[in-house]
Amino acid sequence: MHNSKEFKIPIGPQHPALKEPESFSVALRGEKILGVDIRLGYNHRGIEKACEERSYVQDIYLIERICGICSHAHATAFIQAVEEIAHLAVPERALYIRTLVGELERVHSHLLWLGVAGHEIGFDTLLMYTWRDREIVMDILADLTGNRVNYGINSIGGVRRDISPAQVKDVLKAVDKLEERTKYYIEVATEETTIIKRLSGVGVLAYDDAIKLDAVGPTARASGVARDVRRDDPYAAYDKIQFNVITDTHSDVYGRTVVRVKELMESYGMIREILKKMPEGPIAIKAPPRRIPAGEAISRYEAPRGEDVHYVKSNGTEKPERVKVRAPTLANVQAVKHMLKDRFLADMPIVIAAIDPCFSCTDRSIAIEDGKSRKKNVMTWQELHDYSIKWHRERGFDPAEINRKFHKTMEGK
Amino acid sequence: MGMIKKIINWSRLKSPWILHFNTGACNACDIEIIAALTPRYDLERFGVILKGTPRHADVLVCSGPVTRQIEDRLIRIYEQMAEPKFVVAVGTCACTGGVFGGCYNVKGGINSAIPVSAYIPGCPASPKAIIDGVVKLLKSLEESETKAAPAK
């Protein structure tokens, strides 16, 4: 009926298909998507600025709350940068514990994603199954760190909690159970006809486009780009652990599902190896410094969603001078626009969900650009100055007049 | 009339439909709210079901501090809900602003924009705490059965 007519529909910030407040303006012809405009900022809280007003120790807690799902990723990326500036030698055992929590977090995040993906394609049974099994890893995280979601395990120069032999046994038992369940999910994801038919050929991102649009994490790996910070630029204890970078050549949502479930299996192997190789020793350096010497550092971390980059600049005080965060979703969000073009509107929820978006990581304050004149709504200092004079003059108050009077009285003296 | 009122109130207490709205949270409370709805904790046994639109919902479950950009939307969603309506603030940020207190784009807790009926603290609030909060809210509704207007 509307085949010839072009129209726009707004999706969000409150919408049943979206879990986070995000606004998309979708241009449609019939059921086909012509273009998508993404409006960020509903979740913008101003964390980078707030970091500058808090001490490093307080910042760890604030940075953890950039995102509740990959909180350990952000906290570790930040702390790695701080430790690099301060030249702190972190004990081996602490690095292993960080890696362990990082991998457990990946397990919880990927299981979470599998459930959400199932929900988006109307397969709610999968959501209930995976979230039930996810509770196993949540219990382990709560046991190891004291909290289910924002773990707070990192401290400058180490970690806050040690792992007892009893806990190691619990983790191994849980991993066995999870591995068994994940084998079932691999079966579901690779053999279940409804999943294959619904996900194949949806949200295609070719190898070249993935490179051009700078996709990261499982989104890039599902397009055949073997990009993984854990292997390319090892941090924590990753250089001592064996694992494979999982890639897939399907380049669609199906490929992304396969990559994630296979990464779960890799993570289980890594968790076992970490527990086996974990050396004895202290878990943190003695007396971590409160003041960090002047300097700057960039730290990379492979979060469950992809590469997370933190930049920290210090000026020798207790507070950082600048903190900059590039969350993985910000890198992938451009690819979403590309994936959605000329696709059906009904594919939109699953294509957006397939990059595992985390908008609370991504939301920044933005400059609004006028679409027609390409004019940015950013004022230069001179423009602002002129505008203020004009504004006051319209209200019968002329600063220039006052200036003149002031100079006259000064000269008169 | 009294009988009908009783039946309405009874059915309301047995099926509080909720709308979940993230007002700027870090996703931690959001995943805990979903965890509370999934098999391990299963809020559905209290008749709680997640709805997609404010017009179907009795309880608005908010997580996160109110950011300046979301504030208008939050008020609009609240106004779209049918009476009687209740608001539950989940997490420390939703209660007071939490760690984001003082950030330039954050207004404060949910009560800085709309009236709140129940506060569930925690960073993030665990599913157990969420269930506890919801059950307490239901109990307080049962007690205020005779009162026509919801407590502000």
Q: Are B37 and B43 in contact, with CB atoms under 8 Å apart?
A: yes
The CATH architecture to which B15-135 belongs is 3-Layer(aba) Sandwich (3.40)
A327 plus A397 within the same structural domain:
no
- C-alpha span between A218 and A183 (Å, rounded): 19
What pTM value is reported for the model?
0.87
Mutation for A interface: B105, B126, B128, most A CBs within 10 A: B105
How far is C-alpha A294 from the chain's CA centre? Answer: 28
> Where along chain B do its domains lie?
15-135
Closest Cα of chain B to A50: distance in Å? Answer: 6
A287 plus A318 within the same structural domain:
yes
Closest by Cβ to B73, choosing from A14, A49, A148: A14
A352 plus A387 within the same structural domain:
no
Cβ A360–B73 below 8 Å, yes or no? no
Cβ A43–B67 below 8 Å, yes or no? yes
- Please name the residues in contact with A330: beta carbons below 8 A apart, sequence gap of 6 or more: A361, A362, A364
Residue A200 domain-assigned (yes or no): yes
Closest by Cβ to A44, choosing from B26, B40, B69: B69
What per-residue confidence (pLDDT) applies to A375? Answer: 61
Res. B108: pLDDT tops 50: yes
**A164 CB within 8 Å of a chain B CB:** no
Domain housing A388: 382-412
Count of beta carbons in the 10 Å neighbourhood of residue A77: 29
ipTM: 0.89
Chain A hits for B60, CB-CB cut-off 8 Å, are none
Chain B residue with CA closest to A61: the answer is: B99
A347 plus A401 within the same structural domain:
no
- Please name the residues in contact with A387: beta carbons below 8 A apart, sequence gap of 6 or more: A379
**B77 CB within 8 Å of a chain A CB:** yes
- Please name the residues in contact with B148: beta carbons below 8 A apart, sequence gap of 6 or more: none
A83 plus A169 within the same structural domain:
yes
- C-alpha span between A18 and A359 (Å, rounded): 11
Q: How many domains does chain A have?
A: 2
**A358 CB within 8 Å of a chain B CB:** yes
What per-residue confidence (pLDDT) applies to A357? Answer: 85
By C-alpha distance, which of B32, B89, B100 is closest to B60? Answer: B89
Closest by Cβ to B99, choosing from A62, A127, A134: A62
Hey, what are A154's tokens?
């990192």
Cβ A49–B103 below 8 Å, yes or no? yes
Chain A hits for B105, CB-CB cut-off 8 Å, are 44-46, 365
Q: What is the DSSP string of A266-288?
A: HHHHHHHHHHHHPPPS-SB-SS-
Q: In whole angstroms, how large is the CA radius of gyration of chain B?
A: 15
- C-alpha span between A3 and A25 (Å, rounded): 19
The CA-atom distances, in angstroms, between B64 and each of A8, A22, A312, B138 are 30, 14, 26, 22
First to last CA, chain A: 82
Chain B residue with CA closest to A136: the answer is: B40
Coil, strand, or helix at residue A13? coil
Average predicted confidence (pLDDT) for chain B = 87
Q: In a structure prediction context, what are the per-residue pLDDT tens digits for chain A, which is 413 residues long?
A: 445 678 888 887 888 777 788 888 889 888 889 888 887 778 888 888 889 989 999 999 999 998 888 899 999 999 999 999 999 999 999 999 999 999 999 999 999 999 999 998 888 899 999 999 999 999 999 999 998 988 989 999 999 999 999 999 999 999 999 999 999 999 988 888 989 999 998 989 999 999 998 899 999 999 999 989 999 999 999 999 999 999 999 899 999 999 999 999 999 999 999 999 999 999 999 988 989 999 999 999 999 999 999 999 999 999 999 999 988 888 888 888 888 888 888 888 888 888 888 887 777 665 555 556 666 556 666 777 787 778 778 877 777 777 788 788 777 65
Residue A25 domain-assigned (yes or no): no
Residue A30 domain-assigned (yes or no): no
Single-letter amino acid, residue A104:
L
**A146 CB within 8 Å of a chain B CB:** no
Cβ B69–A42 below 8 Å, yes or no? yes
**A152 CB within 8 Å of a chain B CB:** no
Respond yes or no on whether the N-terminal peptide bond of residue A13 is cis (omega within 30° of 0). Answer: yes
Chain B residue with CA closest to A59: the answer is: B99
Closest by Cβ to A42, choosing from B30, B31, B70: B70
Closest by Cβ to B26, choosing from A50, A68, A128: A68
Q: Are A85 and A295 in contact, with CB atoms under 8 Å apart?
A: yes
**A41 CB within 8 Å of a chain B CB:** yes
CATH of the domain at A193: 1.10.645.10
Closest by Cβ to A68, choosing from B73, B98, B124: B124
A286 plus A401 within the same structural domain:
no
How far is C-alpha A117 from the chain's CA centre? Answer: 17
What per-residue confidence (pLDDT) applies to B110? Answer: 93
- Please name the residues in contact with A2: beta carbons below 8 A apart, sequence gap of 6 or more: A28, A29, A30
A258 plus A407 within the same structural domain:
no
Residue A102 domain-assigned (yes or no): yes
What per-residue confidence (pLDDT) applies to A23? Answer: 84
What per-residue confidence (pLDDT) applies to A1? Answer: 47
How far is C-alpha A151 from the chain's CA centre? Answer: 16
Closest by Cβ to A46, choosing from B21, B40, B106: B106
Chain B residue with CA closest to A364: the answer is: B105
- Please name the residues in contact with A244: beta carbons below 8 A apart, sequence gap of 6 or more: A266
Chain A hits for B24, CB-CB cut-off 8 Å, are 21, 42-45, 360
Respond yes or no on whether the N-terminal peptide bond of residue A293 is cis (omega within 30° of 0). Answer: no
What per-residue confidence (pLDDT) applies to A280? Answer: 93
Chain A hits for B107, CB-CB cut-off 8 Å, are none
Chain A residue with CA closest to B41: the answer is: A132
Give the pLDDT band (50/70/90) at residue B150. Answer: very low
